[in-house]
Structure 1
Amino acid sequence: MAVWFVFVVPLVIMLFALFMERVETRLRHVAVQEDEVEQLLEDVRPDEVRALYGHGIGRALELFRLRRKGGRAARMRAQRVRQ
């Protein structure tokens, strides 16, 4: 009986490690990046502060990303008009 434990326990640990690696890979893409938080805190607007206080960092970063994308789109439109 002890021989089975010698073979089964390392196999179970290895399978668990592979499973956790997959979970970690998926979470890495969803997780908040440190530089985004720093940018948010350096250039925060009142609506983002309210979202941070009321709904957490996820909603505040969502608003921040939308503002940044909107800013880029507006700059691109302005450049097209100038050309």
Structure 2
Amino acid sequence: MTVWLAIAVPFVIMFFALFMERVETRLRHVAVQEEEVEEFLEQARPNEVRALYGHGIGRALEMFRLRRRSGKTGRLHARRTRG
């Protein structure tokens, strides 16, 4: 019995470590980056802060990203029409 336990425990630990590595990889892609949060806190508008308070960081960052994207495309469009 002790022999089976001595053989099984390293395999269980190895499979657990591999499983946790896969979980960590998925979470790394889903998680909010620290730089994004800092930028949000520095440049957020009142409606984005209300979204942070009411719906959480995910929704607030979504609104912030949409505003930044539309602002960049709006600026590009304005440059193209002027030039």
TM-score range, shorter chain: over 0.9
TM-score if structure 2 supplies the norm length?
0.95
Q: Which residue of 2 is the match for residue 76 of structure 1?
A: 76
Q: Which residue of 1 is the match for residue 56 of structure 2?
A: 56
Work out the percentage of aligned pairs sharing the same amino acid.
71
> CA offset at residue 80 of structure 1?
1.7
TM-score if structure 1 supplies the norm length?
0.95
> CA offset at residue 72 of structure 1?
1.0
CA distance in 2: counterparts of 1:8 and 1:30, whole angstroms: 33
> CA offset at residue 82 of structure 1?
2.5
- RMSD over aligned CA atoms reads 0.8
- How many pairs align? 83
Instruction: State the SS of the aligned residue for 1:32.
Output: coil
Structure 1: stretches of 5+ with no match in the other structure: none
> CA offset at residue 78 of structure 1?
1.4
Structure 2: stretches of 5+ with no match in the other structure: none
- Structure 1 runs (4+) greater than 6 angstroms displaced: none
CA distance in 1: counterparts of 2:81 and 2:20, whole angstroms: 50
CA distance in 1: counterparts of 2:82 and 2:5, whole angstroms: 73
